[in-house]
Structure 1
Amino acid sequence: MFSRLMAMVLATALMMINIPQYTAASVSVSARSAILMEQDSGRILYEKEANKVRRIASITKIMTAILAIESGKMDDMVKVSDRAVRAEGSSIYLKAGEKIKLEDLVYGLMLRSGNDSAVAIAEHVGGSLEGFGFLMNKKAEEIGMKNTHFANPHGLDDHEDHYSTAYDMALLTRYAMNNEIYQKIAGTKVHRAPNPNESWDRVWKNKNRLLTELYEYSTGGKTGYTKRAKRTLVTTASKENLNLIAVTLNGPDDWNDHISMYETAFKTYDIVEVLPEGIIEDIDEEYYKGKVYLKHPYNYPVSKEEKDKFKIDIKLQKPETEWEDSRAIPGVIGQATVYLDGEPIKKLPLYYKHDPIKEDKSLLDYFKGLFTSIAGVKTNG
């Protein structure tokens, strides 16, 4: 019962925070570092040296893609520079001086891992490779990627200070997957782009074999490889209501690593509604009864054994004397802390439902009165 868990306390700063809860899953992977994260809650379902700093190769391009998308310049025509054409490694075979839509560059970046595309994007969005590097690291800081530094837009081994972790790359992917344009591009199997230099269009097939042929629940991701980083892979998968993110760094058998993590999680976890949206009915305090509500439901992935291990602690502000006028009551009046097996996993703001303000006159009557006053009907003369 919520009433048993209620505590009346003085107001404190209330923040929506998420504390991912880790639980071991029975799975084995070949990768040196790995993580499996539930996308919506951020819960870590499996990890192996997930915070170990490593080289990341072309999964770097997830950051390049989301910055391009968020720039608002996807319809821009980008002039390809000599520097972009000279980029080593995988390529979409751009030619110096040609103009190509930024949107198509992002498709070439994500599907074919074009390093020439990465440089062209960086120069157009950031003004230069150095300027784009600043944007990459600024965004990484905003997302909370604490063990990451970007030195280029493609992930080539041309800088010693270009690195991340499996956990940080999962955070980045979780952020990117909130963007519908990114979702669409990362989940595209084949893209066709105009080719100004030839009579045929460019046709790019996604290198992510999990998406194109190996795993029916795959929804997107990004591949990577360099001699120093070895094989790196980020993928996403969804089944029923469970949305997952998998990351492996230096994984010689990465396709099977990801499938193994996904299959284990889909068999082990279900999404449950911990708190529904709307009025919290079990609050018996007279002042707040029928008035405290959640704006959104709170769902969380749990195993069968964990479903009965949730506890809710509700804390509400002590009513103030000046609240006799209900309009003085603040919108946020408390918080609900969700515990799983004794550990806090989420703090949710609680809102006060204000009664609609009753007016003596309708809005139409008000404007009628205003008009007649202006017209002089109610004045002497």
Structure 2
Amino acid sequence: MRYTRVRAGVAALCAAALLTIYTGTGSLAHGWSAEDETVGYTTIAQDPTLSAVAPEVAMPSGILRTMDGRTLWSRDPDAQRAMASTTKIMTALVVLEHAEMSDVVTVSRDAAGVGEAEIDLRPGQEITVGMLLEGMLVRSGNDAAIALAEHVGGSLDGFAVMMNQKAADLGLSHSSFANPHGLDEPGHYSSAQDLATLSTLAMSDPRFAEMVSQPSVMVDDGQGGAKRYESSNKLLGTYEGANGVKTGWTNKAGYCLVASAQRNDIGLVAVVLGTDSEDERFDEARVLLDWGYEHYRPIEVATAETTAALVPVTDYLDRTVPAVVGESVTVPVFDLDGEISASADVVHEVEAPVLAGQRLGTLTVRQGERLLAQVPIVAVRDVAAPDTWERIEIWFTRIWRSVFGGQLQAPAVPLV
């Protein structure tokens, strides 16, 4: 009896410890709580069992989203944080909107002298917008960012106004931009959620997507030659499907990364903010992307020629036509959002003639409240109208059965 009480006490202490980790002080020690972390649309505070399936990452703020905007996981996604050179995603968007890739930029002394990461621009050097964008996005050149900002906005302040207008247009309510490169400055911040939204839009532009997928880039040195710069994104070429987007680091922001990948027509974007080391941001992004591809994958939710019902043909006494699912449908499904259900809405009866492929209803597939697919249900074969003698026979038979009993029409048979 005493052993039982001791064992129960140990179990209670373990449960209390887990509750502390996911609802209070344990996670708060790392800067977040169970209210901050979601799997799908449910916080761990609402359903503590989700802690067992959530990705094991330590970042203070981050998000994993599909390229079509569905959030699979997040932690404190609206926290306003310094975001370092992930700023350059917005810089590139504004430049692509207001300049041509072939435009020629004359590099100012301010641009050439900014310091930190750079592509060694020289004052007075003439270089195209396209090459500056590649140097800014692949190498993370701050000098390229300033040269582009001055060219498009007239000045750094003018370009910051354009960045903030773009943020407002996109509904990025947790972002404010003070410069084009991301060095720490008052009033310069974003959030994991906003960066995911921004990156998804940027990756929809083929010019941007091509640039950020490059493992290296050649940039004119202003002296008749060119210099190769390697991408700062270590996922490129080392992680299956990795195709972008941008790294960043400052003292205030810590190590940051917006990472994207594409596999089997499924695109994911992972935002990692505020890790303690360069390698950690890549490790955490890998964990998020692996977790995403494990739990969000294509599933066949409707199979062609599955019989949904047997539909009575009213012109006959006992004839039905099979109503089948018209086509197979495969859609990405997040398996942690619950069970998948299907319901068929099929007509109760149909008049002859019936033609093969004639629509008789709709199959609706849902996961909880989320609509996954709606698929036509169709007649599997032709049913001709009865000829004159058949009609006479059916008419007399129905009169007889109306008086003495019997089936006047085949019953509907739902199967889904």
The answer on 1:205 being equivalent to 2:191 is no
SS at match of 1:116: helix
| Alpha-carbon displacement from aligned partner over 1:334-370 (angstroms, at most 9, x marks no partner) | xxx996413x57999xxxxxxxxxxxxxxxxxxxxxx
1:19-38 equivalence runs, <5 A: 22=41, 26-38=54-66
Please point out which of 334, 337, 340 is paired with 1:302.
Answer: 334
Unaligned runs of 5+ residues in structure 2 are 1-38, 43-49, 304-308, 310-328, 346-363, 375-416
The answer on 1:174 being equivalent to 2:200 is yes
Contact 2:331–2:372, Cα closer than 8 Å, also in 1: no
Contact 2:63–2:77, Cα closer than 8 Å, also in 1: yes
Alpha-carbon shift at residue 200 of structure 1 (Å): 2.8
Q: Give the structure, 1 or 2, with the largest relative contact order (CA under 8 Å, sep 6 or more).
A: 1
Q: May I ask how many residue pairs the two structures share in their alignment?
A: 285
| Alpha-carbon displacement from aligned partner over 1:69-104 (angstroms, at most 9, x marks no partner) | 222421111000111112131111101011001100
2:175, 2:344 → 1: CA distance? 35
Structure 2 vs 1, CA of residues 311 and 172 (structure 1 numbering), >3 Å: closer, same or farther? Answer: farther
Alpha-carbon shift at residue 309 of structure 1 (Å): 4.5
- TM-score with structure 1 setting the length: 0.68
2:143, 2:289 → 1: CA distance? 33
The answer on 1:228 being equivalent to 2:256 is no
| Alpha-carbon displacement from aligned partner over 1:180-238 (angstroms, at most 9, x marks no partner) | 111100101121233332x53121211100114x3122111101001111101101011
Please point out which of 183, 187, 195 is paired with 2:209.
Answer: 183
- CA radius of gyration, larger in: 2
| Alpha-carbon displacement from aligned partner over 1:218-274 (angstroms, at most 9, x marks no partner) | 111101001111101101011112210000110121111010111111111113587
Partner of 1:264: 291
| Alpha-carbon displacement from aligned partner over 1:257-292 (angstroms, at most 9, x marks no partner) | 01011111111111358799xxxxx9xxxxxxxxxx
Alpha-carbon shift at residue 54 of structure 1 (Å): 0.7
SS at match of 1:192: strand
Alpha-carbon shift at residue 305 of structure 1 (Å): 6.7
SS at match of 1:256: helix
Structure 2 vs 1, CA of residues 264 and 30 (structure 1 numbering), >3 Å: closer, same or farther? Answer: same
Structure 2 vs 1, CA of residues 200 and 140 (structure 1 numbering), >3 Å: closer, same or farther? Answer: same
Contact 2:212–2:244, Cα closer than 8 Å, also in 1: yes
Paired AA for residue 37 in structure 1: R
Alpha-carbon shift at residue 111 of structure 1 (Å): 0.8
Partner of 1:255: 282
Alpha-carbon shift at residue 310 of structure 1 (Å): 7.2
Paired AA for residue 67 in structure 2: Q
Structure 2 vs 1, CA of residues 271 and 143 (structure 1 numbering), >3 Å: closer, same or farther? Answer: farther
Identity within the alignment, %: 34
- TM-score with structure 2 setting the length: 0.62
Structure 2 vs 1, CA of residues 339 and 51 (structure 1 numbering), >3 Å: closer, same or farther? Answer: farther
1:264, 1:180 → 2: CA distance? 27
The answer on 1:193 being equivalent to 2:222 is no
Contact 1:85–1:116, Cα closer than 8 Å, also in 2: yes
Alpha-carbon shift at residue 312 of structure 1 (Å): 11
SS at match of 2:174: coil
1:87, 1:309 → 2: CA distance? 58
